[in-house]
């Protein structure tokens, strides 16, 4: 398999701002639009920021530029439970544009919204209708890209929404929280369908929660969801209404010999995705990535240690709670590799056989710093290893080998 060499392309952010990051600027969601022309970013302050590649005559790889932003969600108070509902954007999904209009779905913990960003003229009445009942005279006060909320998907989830995906045909939206996976119709937000229900009869018996879900990249009737027990379930909406009973389960049986205090925590899957060709599933848990072949459900074809030195630091990670951090994963265009983030401003590109693990270090010097991580690698992680610089969110472009990687409040682009 041809090794992919990723190179630094662009960065938004600099060292100064990155040293003093305010919590609200931390990027919490990244997503390319399907043509790759736009990129959407969500942050903890509830903002959606859109970047675009301006359409120029130049054919070579143009760079992204800031286009516009909007305040997607605001902090709310849940009166029933007496808790705050954070405005942090958990996920961003683009829908097909129409003409010059852009459509984006955003979600926080509770509410999904469909935003439309379009070139508009905002008008104001300057001369109202009088006794003659003439039509009011209008004047344009603002012109340009104006966002508006087109649809709000009513507050249905009892727990925090962890994933949001749109099907390829954009008829459906899949959202999941700890116990349920819902299927929404984009046309009619008032109709939601329960696709998976993990709620036990007695909540005290709860032992497994849903951690993420995603649609198949091309088949609109298939989706997967992952659980805290490291199980992946592949569901087919065509087979049945409630999809859980007919799902294919992919789980590796637990090896009792290797079990320790941390096993339960680190086997929880933080994110999973299909390979672009739909043949494989890449699932990320705290220490490893497992590559599954859809045709073989009893064991993964490869298990890759993302960065083994972390294994020896589990106690510290538990102390500073970084052991609960969730990392995203994405498949490359040729489906032969996957990309996932790590601590200390690094991300890894690994081939799906698990043979070649390359670690890239993010930096502000426009350099591509990469090193090979051999299997059974050990390194003493000293005090310079920064657990706060987490690369948790990334997004792969669907049309070219381009990945957007977010670390704290900075956004990096790498191409291959």
Partner 1 sequence: MPKIENTTGMPINLIIDELKSDDIRKRIHSVKHLDLIASTIGPDRTKNELIPFIQELLDDDDEVLIELVDSLSRNFVELVGGQAQVLLPTFEALCRVEDASVREKAANQIKKCLTQLPDQKKVEELSIGIIKRLNDSDYYMAKNAVAILIPAIFNQVSQNNQNDLINIILKLSQDQIPQVRKFTSMYFQDLVKHFPLINETFIQNILNSFIKDEQDFIRMYIVDALIQSSKTPFFQKQQNFILNMFKQLAEDQSWRVRFYFCDKLAEIGEAVTKDGYRKNFQNYHLKFLQDAEPEMKSIAALKIERVSGLMDPEDILNKLIPLLKTIQSDTNAFVRNALASSVLALCPIIGKKNTSEQILPIFLTLLKDQDSEVRITLFKKLSLITNVLGVDSLSQSVIPALTELAQDKNWRIRASTIEVLSFFARAIGPEFLSDKVLKLLLDWMGDKVSSVRQTAIQQTAQLISILGLAWADKNLLTKIWAFQSIQNYLHRLTVLFTINQITSQLTNDYILKTIVPILQAMAKDSVANIRSNVCRTSIQLAKEKGGNIADPMKKILQTLSDDQDAEVKYQAKSALESL
CA distances from 295 to 144, 288, 298 (A): 50, 21, 9
Spatial contact of 114 and 170, defined as CB atoms under 8 Å apart: no
Nearest to 314 by CA among 359, 263, 361: 263
Looking at residue 121, what DSSP letter applies?
A: E
Considering only the stretches 8-16, 167-175, 283-291, 367-375, report the one whose residues sit in contact with partner 1 under the rule CB under 8 A.
Answer: 167-175
Q: Which of 33, 228, 192 is nearest to 111 (CA)?
A: 192
Cβ at position 70, least distance to partner 1 in Å? 16
Of the ranges 71-79, 232-240, 327-335, 345-353, which one interacts with partner 1 (CB under 8 A)? Answer: 232-240
Q: Taking the CA atoms of the chain, what radius of gyration do you get in angstroms?
A: 22
Using CB under 8 A as the binding rule, whether residue 75 contacts partner 1 is answered as: no
Task: Mark residues 237-266: x for contact with partner 1 by CB under 8 A, - for none.
Answer: xxxxx-------------------------
Q: Is 129 in the site for partner 1 (CB under 8 A)?
A: yes
Strand order from edge to edge, sheet including 248-250: 210-215, 222-227, 232-236, 248-250
Q: What are phi and psi of 179, to 5 degrees?
A: -120, -20
Selected from 44, 73, 113, 116, the binder of partner 1 by CB under 8 A is 116
Residue 263 parent element (H or E)? helix 263-266
Asked if residue 274 lies in contact with residue 280, where contact means CB atoms within 8 angstroms, the answer is yes
315 binds partner 1 (CB under 8 A): no
Size of the site for partner 1 (CB under 8 A): 34
Cα first-last separation, the chain: 15
Question: Could you tell me which stretch among 78-86, 115-123, 197-205, 284-292 binds partner 1 (CB under 8 A)?
Answer: 115-123
Binding segment for partner 1 (CB under 8 A), chosen from 84-92, 94-102, 326-334, 342-350, is: 94-102
CB of 69 to partner 1, least distance (A): 21
Our CB check for partner 1 shows the closer of 103 and 282 to be 103
Which residue's structure tokens are 């913990």?
109
Does 169 sit near partner 1 (CB under 8 A)? Answer: yes
Picking from 292, 321, 158, the residue whose alpha carbon sits closest to that of residue 226 is 292
H/E stretch holding 126 reads: strand 112-127
134 binds partner 1 (CB under 8 A): yes
Pick between residue 151 and residue 390 the one whose CB is nearest to partner 1: 151
Min dist CB 125 to partner 1, Å, is: 5
Contacting range for partner 1; rule: CB under 8 A; set: 146-154, 201-209, 259-267, 345-353: 146-154
Q: How far is the CB of 136 from partner 1 (least distance, A)?
A: 6
Binder among 16, 20, 58, 128 for partner 1 (CB under 8 A): 128
Distance between CA atoms of 77 and 194, rounded to whole angstroms? 26
Contact 324, 394 (CB under 8 A): no
Alpha-carbon gap, residue 284 to 267, rounded angstroms: 9
- Enumerate residues 186-225 that contact partner 1 by CB under 8 A: 187, 219-221
Give the integer Cα–Cα distance in Å for 350 and 373: 10
- Closest approach, Cβ 181 to partner 1, in A, equals 17
Q: Which helix (H) or strand (E) holds 16?
A: helix 15-19
Q: Measured from the CB atom, is 86 or 170 closer to partner 1?
A: 170
Locate 40 and state its tokens.
């959407």
Nearest residue (CB) to partner 1, 249 versus 298: 249
Closer by beta carbon to partner 1, 122 or else 206: 122
Binding site for partner 1 (CB under 8 A): 96, 98-101, 116, 120, 123-125, 128-131, 133-136, 138, 148, 150-151, 169-171, 187, 219-221, 237-241
């Amino acid at each position: 398999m041809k090794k992919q060499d990723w190179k630094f392309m662009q960065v938004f952010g600099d060292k100064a701002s990155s040293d003093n990051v305010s919590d609200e600027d931390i990027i919490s969601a990244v997503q390319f639009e399907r043509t790759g022309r736009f990129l959407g970013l969500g942050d903890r302050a509830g903002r959606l920021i859109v970047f675009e590649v301006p359409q120029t005559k130049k054919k070579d790889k143009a760079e992204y530029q800031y286009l516009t932003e909007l305040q997607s969600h605001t902090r709310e108070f849940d009166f029933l439970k007496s808790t705050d509902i954070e405005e942090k954007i958990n996920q961003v999904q683009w829908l097909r544009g129409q003409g010059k209009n852009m459509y984006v779905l955003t979600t926080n913990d509770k509410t999904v919204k469909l935003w439309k960003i379009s070139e508009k003229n905002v008008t104001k009445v300057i001369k109202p209708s009088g006794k003659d009942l003439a039509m009011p005279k209008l004047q344009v006060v603002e012109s340009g890209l104006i966002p508006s909320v087109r649809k709000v998907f009513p507050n249905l989830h009892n727990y925090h929404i962890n994933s949001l995906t749109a099907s390829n045909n954009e008829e459906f939206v899949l959202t999941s929280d700890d116990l349920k996976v819902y299927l929404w119709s984009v046309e009619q937000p008032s109709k939601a369908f329960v696709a998976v229900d993990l709620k036990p009869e007695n909540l005290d018996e709860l032992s497994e929660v849903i951690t993420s879900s995603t649609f198949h990249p091309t088949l609109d009737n298939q989706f997967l969801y992952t659980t805290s027990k490291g199980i992946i379930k592949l569901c087919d909406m065509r087979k049945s209404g409630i999809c859980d009973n007919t799902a294919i389960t992919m789980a590796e049986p637990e090896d009792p010999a290797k079990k320790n205090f941390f096993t339960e925590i680190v086997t929880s899957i933080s994110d999973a995705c299909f390979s672009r060709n739909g043949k494989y599933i890449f699932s990320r848990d705290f220490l490893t990535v497992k590559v599954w072949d859809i045709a073989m459900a009893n064991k993964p074809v490869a298990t890759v240690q993302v960065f083994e030195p972390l294994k020896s630091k589990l106690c510290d990670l538990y102390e500073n709670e970084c052991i609960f951090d969730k990392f995203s994963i994405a498949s490359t265009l040729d489906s032969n590799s996957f990309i996932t983030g790590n601590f200390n401003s690094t991300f890894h590109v690994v081939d799906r056989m698990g043979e070649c693990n390359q670690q890239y270090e993010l930096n502000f010097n426009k350099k591509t710093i990469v090193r090979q991580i051999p299997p059974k690698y050990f390194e003493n992680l000293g005090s310079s290893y920064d657990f706060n610089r987490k690369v948790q969110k990334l997004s792969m472009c669907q049309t070219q080998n381009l990945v957007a990687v977010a670390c704290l409040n900075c956004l990096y682009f790498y191409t291959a």
